[in-house]
Amino acid sequence: MLRYRVFLTIRHPSMFPEFITQEIGLEPTKTWRAGSPRKTPAGRLLQGCYLDSAWIQQYDFEGRYFFDGALHVLSEIQPKFEFLTSLLNSGGCIELQIQLSGTKNIGDVLNHESLSKFSELGVSLSLEVFPIINWNDVGKHIPHDNVGGG
């Protein structure tokens, strides 16, 4: 069975991840606060601090149609439209990233009705393909750490 992962990432220049959790009503997989020291997934300190706060939720799916998983995630956050709009208007951003293994032929179509749902919620869509993948290691990769220098 084909497997893929979807990450919902919410970023904001100053909003605390705990507040995002309270408003979204979901427990995140990973968070960090703006200004906190950067760390590796194993917890080792890195140089610099995070430039923004991040709230990340990981979803694991099976099947060929990966946009179905993305639309499932959108359906979970759609009831929080007012909060999401406020977050975007105050400098935040919302990204939904689909991670695929490059070892299997897989494809899907996002029709215009579904595509409009992303736009209505202000959610950016990204796709990442891993040429050779051990799915046990993928959870160690959190997409697009926005980091500050030394």
pLDDT value at 105 more than 50: yes
Domain spans in the chain, listed from the N-terminal domain onward: 3-133
**HSE-CB for 131 with a 13 A CA cutoff:** 0
pLDDT value at 21 more than 80: yes
Task: Encode pLDDT of 68-77 as tens digits.
Answer: 999 999 999 9
> What average pLDDT does the chain have?
87
Please return the burial class of 56, using the count of CB atoms within 10 Å of its CB with bins 0-12, 13-18 and 19+: buried
- Looking at the whole model, is its pTM more than 0.85? no
φ, ψ for residue 19, nearest 5 deg: -70, -40
Task: Encode pLDDT of 45-64 as tens digits.
Answer: 999 999 999 999 999 999 88
pLDDT at 148: 46
User: Which two tokens mark 122?
Assistant: 């202000």
Inter-CA distances, 106 with 25, 34, 48, 53, 102, Å: 32, 37, 38, 33, 8
End-to-end CA distance of the chain: 44
